[in-house]
Structure 1
Amino acid sequence: MWSRHGPAGLLDELGAGAALALASATGALLLGMLVVGAGTASIAQARAAAAADAAALAAADAVAGYADGSPCGLAQAVAAASGARLDSCLVDGLDARVTTAVAVGPLTASAAAIAGPPAVSAP
C-alpha cells in the first residue's frame, strides 16, 4: 500500500535517524569521558611515582649525610614540592622507604620508592 509519502511502512520509522544520532553522540561522549579519566589517572600515578622517587632520594641523602635535616622532614618537603602527600617514611639503616599519594578527584594514586646505597656483593 502506498501513501503520498511513500510506502506505508516507512511512516512508522520517521524520527529514527534522530534517535540513532543521539545514541551515537551519547556513546562517543561516554567513550571520550572514559579516555580522559584514564589519562588523568595515568598522569596522577606518574606524578605520585616521581614524587616518591625524589622523596626517597632526599631522605637517603639526609641519612648518608649529604643533606642537612631529618630524612623524613626532607622527604615531606620534596613530596609537597612535587604536589604529592607523603603517606609514610621509614629509615632502615642507610635505606629510606617512602610512600606518596596524589589525589585524583575522589580517588588517590599512590606509589612507593626505596633509595639507599647499592648493595655490596661479595667477590
Structure 2
Amino acid sequence: MGASLATAGVICAAAIAAAGLVGVGAAAAESQRAAGVADAAALAAADTLAGFAAGDPCQRAGEVAAAQSATVEKCVLDGLVATVAVRTSFGGIPVAAVARAGPPL
C-alpha cells in the first residue's frame, strides 16, 4: 500500500511539473510570435517608406499587426527606417516586441 501511494505521488509531481513546463514553453512561443509580428510590421512600414507599397507607413504596420492579432503601440519613422513596437497578450499577460527595418547600411 505504501509503494502505491509513493508511486501516485511521483506521478502527480511529474504531471504538475510537465504542466508547468508546457506553460513556460507556450509563453516562450508567444514571445517569439510577437517578435515575428513586430518584424513583419516594421518591414511593411519600411517598404511603404521606400515606395514599394502605397499608403501611410504606420497605418500599414498597424494593418499587418492587426491581421496577426496584435496592436502597434509605437511607430517611429526616421528617413527610410521604421521602428515598430507591437503588443499582444498571452493568457491576460501583455507581451511586447520591437523591431526595426530599413535599407541596408
TM-score by length of 1: 0.77
CA offset at residue 94 of structure 1? 1.2
- For the 8 Å contact 1:41–1:109, the answer to whether it is kept is no
Name 1:118's counterpart in structure 2: 104
Name 1:97's counterpart in structure 2: 83
Name 1:81's counterpart in structure 2: 67
Where relative contact order (Cα < 8 A, 6+ residues apart) is larger, the structure is: 2
User: What percentage of residue pairs aligned between the two structures are identical?
Assistant: 41
Counterpart amino acid of residue 108 in structure 1:
P
Q: Deviations over 1:68-88 (max 9, x none)?
A: 111110000001112222221
Report the Cα distance in structure 1 between the residues aligned to 2:30 and 2:71, rounded to whole angstroms.
Answer: 12
Report the Cα distance in structure 2 between the residues aligned to 1:68 and 1:29, rounded to whole angstroms.
Answer: 52
CA offset at residue 16 of structure 1? 2.3
TM-score by length of 2: 0.89
Report the Cα distance in structure 1 between the residues aligned to 2:71 and 2:33, rounded to whole angstroms.
Answer: 11
Name 1:66's counterpart in structure 2: 52
Counterpart amino acid of residue 81 in structure 2:
D
Unaligned regions of 5+ residues in structure 1, if any? 1-14
How large is the Cα RMSD of the aligned pairs? 1.4
Unaligned regions of 5+ residues in structure 2, if any? none
Specify which of 13, 38, 43 is matched with residue 52 of structure 1: 38
The ranges of structure 1 where at least 4 consecutive aligned residues each deviate by more than 3 angstroms after the TM superposition are none
CA offset at residue 115 of structure 1? 0.5
